Structure 1
C-alpha cells in the first residue's frame, strides 16, 4: 500500500516544491520510492499551472535535486488519499487544519520543521519569494535538515503497516 505525503506552502512555487524535490530524493535513497509517493500544493491558487520559481529551480539544480513541477492548489478532498500533509509554516498549518473534513484528517497535518530536532522554537520555513537567492539557500538548508527526521517517521509508518 502506498504512503502519500504532500508538502504545502502558499503558492506552490517556492518552499513546497523544494521540499517535494528534497524529500523525493531522500525517499529514493532509502529505497522507498516504490512505496512512498511525494507531491506538493499551495494553500492558494494564484500560481496554478505555473512552474516553480526560477530561483527554486536554480538552487535545487545546484544541489543535485531534479524538479519537474506544475503548481496547484490543495483541495480538501485530498485528505482521503493522503497519509501526511506537511505544512511549511504555522499559517499553512492553521489553514490546512481548517480545511480538514474531520479531526482525523486535521491530525495528518504537521509542520515540516517539527521533524528537525535542532530547529529550536521557530518551526516556520520563511517564505523566500520576496528576497534574494540567499533566502532560497536558507530554505533548502531547513528543508534538508528536517527531511532526515521526516524520512525516519515515514519509514516507521511504512514498516508498521507492513508488519
Structure 2
C-alpha cells in the first residue's frame, strides 16, 4: 500500500445491496473513527449499493437509531455502485459474498481485484465472513450489525493509519 497523504486522500467505499442499512452504517462508523483520530483530510469515505432499489433514500430508520445511540449520525443518501467506482476508489469494502460477486462481475478482467475486499476480513471475530443483512429483523439485528461494523472498521482504520504520512 502506498503512503496516504492530505494531498491525495485515500478513497474508500462501503458496499451492500440497497445502501440503506449495512454500508451507510459502515460509512458513518468509519468516518466517525476517522474524525476521532483527526484524520479527516486523509480519507474520503462513501457508500453505495449494488441495486437501485433505494436511490436517494436516507439510511434505514433502525440503522440511524442504532448509530445515534453511539453518537453517530448517518447522513448519506443511497446511491448505486457504478462501473466508474472501480477506478475511482482505492478500496472497495463489501458486506457479503453475494455483493462481492456483484462487484467482481463489473470487473471481468480482474483489473481491480486487489482493492475489493469483504469488511469482515478485518474483523477480529470474522464469523462466516459476512455482515448479515438486518433489514427484515428487529433492533437486535441492527445492533449486531453495528457491533460487527464498528470492530471491523476500527481494525481497518488501524491498518490504514499505518500508511498515513504526517
1:16 to 2:13 alignment:
no
CA shift at 1:102, angstroms?
Answer: 4.5
* Greater share of residues in helix: 1
In structure 2, the CA distance between the partners of 1:116 and 1:79, relative to structure 1 (3 Å rule), is same
Q: 1:94 aligns with which of 84, 94, 101?
A: 101
CA distance in 2, matches of 1:156, 1:144: 19
| TM-score normalised by structure 2 residue count | 0.90
Deviant stretches of 4+, over 6 Å: none
The answer to whether residue 92 in structure 2 is matched with residue 85 in structure 1 is yes
2:68 matched residue in structure 1 = 61
Check conservation: 1:3, 1:158, Cα contact below 8 A. no
Residue 123 of structure 1 aligns with which residue? 129
User: Are the aligned partners of 1:96 and 1:106 in contact in 2 as well (CA < 8 Å)?
Assistant: no
Q: Aligned partners of 2:130 and 2:87: how far apart in 1? A: 26
Give 1:1-163 correspondences, 5 Å limit: 1-100=8-107, 102-120=109-127, 122-159=128-165
Are the counterparts in 2 of residues 89 and 126 from structure 1 also a CA contact under 8 Å? yes
Residue 105 (structure 1) shift: 1.1
The TM-score, its normalising length taken from structure 1, stands at 0.92
How many residues of Structure 1 are paired with residues of Structure 2 in the alignment? 159
Structure 2 residues not aligned, in runs of 5+: 1-7
Alignment partners' CA distance in 2, 1:63 and 1:147: 15
C-alpha RMSD of matched pairs (Å): 1.4
